[in-house]
Amino acid sequence: MAADKDIISLYKPLEEAALSLDSRFTFQCHAGLPCFNQCCHTPTVILSSYDLLRLKQCLGITSGELLQRYTRQEIEPLSNLPLVVLDPSRSEDGACPFLGPEGCTVYAHRPAACRLFPIAMGSRLTEEGVEDYYFCRELDYCRGFDGEAEWTVESWKANQGFAEYDRGRGPWIEILLKAGLEPPPRLDALMQNLFALLAYDLDKFRRLVSQPAFRQTHGVEARQSDALRTDDLALLKFSYGLLPAILTQEGVRRLTAVIRSSPEFFQN
């Protein structure tokens, strides 16, 4: 766990400096800048469930391998739920573990936070649902702001392919925000581990879903089972539907009963 001053959280206060979708800024990052890749040497990148799905597909590895090799887990203090962040300590120079000599090695599948840079985003729950708000991260060393390309926040999001990532992270962020509305809930280590399994370790969750006891207990039909076995996005959406339940004692009881009755789940 990080020290208090370094606590990692999804929650950013809505300040007067927040931007609207129509707010304008100039920014143009390219390899010719003296600061190129410097921002990747001090990364604090929270990875959504969808970020992890895209990264593991890009790298051709399992979710478990991705989590073990490149990330660490933190408990978010307001929701008391686990977050996954990129772990710069995995690289020799403390940079993002996906930073190579020529730049980002996973650029086409880079996480949502990297896509938005130099814009940062916060989210909050309103009566209408999740509301996002934006800030500009004007780092002193960044020369990208000296460029001539002008954007609005909305046009920058479109240019960086953010919409797909936003849709993919939507249910995940809403669950976390709801959990953080009240004082930290009494979630024990088992609840946190089950949440991490469903939200982040997609391939391990797939093994659980394939167990007959799970299909019977959670009413998974044959056609749905086929999709969950082959389609990562369908499996992720299915996991989103289960996440609120495992934050209850009854939901934990049902899922742990399935796990205990499925020894095959532990064999891989």
Which pLDDT score is estimated for 4? 36
Which pLDDT score is estimated for 102? 86
- Which of 179, 214, 236 corresponds to the end of one domain? 179
Q: Which domain holds residue 193?
A: 189-266
Helix/strand number for the chain, H first, E second: 11, 9
Mean pLDDT (the chain) is: 88
Q: Does a structural domain hold residue 184? A: no
pLDDT in tens, 113-164: 999 999 999 888 888 888 898 999 888 899 999 989 999 999 999 999 999 9
Dist CA 243 CA 245 (whole Å): 5
Strands (E), 109-265: 119-126, 129-136, 150-152
Residues 107 and 21 in one domain: yes
Considering only residues 200 and 137, tell me which one the structure prediction assigns the higher pLDDT: 200
Which pLDDT score is estimated for 6? 47
Helix (H) or strand (E) holding 220: none
State percent of the chain over pLDDT 70: 90
The answer to which of 131-140, 169-178, 180-189 has the lowest mean pLDDT is 180-189
Considering only residues 206 and 18, tell me which one the structure prediction assigns the higher pLDDT: 206
Average pLDDT, integer, range 44-53: 95
Residues 215 and 171 in one domain: no
Residues 97 and 135 in one domain: yes
Residues 25 and 155 in one domain: yes
Which pLDDT score is estimated for 10? 67
Average pLDDT, integer, range 105-115: 95
Q: Which residues are registered as beta bridge partners of 134?
A: 19, 121
Whether 204 has a pLDDT exceeding 90, the answer reads yes
The pLDDT confidence band at residue 242, using thresholds 50, 70 and 90, is: very high
Average pLDDT, integer, range 234-242: 95
Residues 225 and 255 in one domain: yes
Residues 159 and 218 in one domain: no
Which residue type does 13 have?
Answer: P
Residues 122 and 197 in one domain: no
Which pLDDT score is estimated for 12? 62
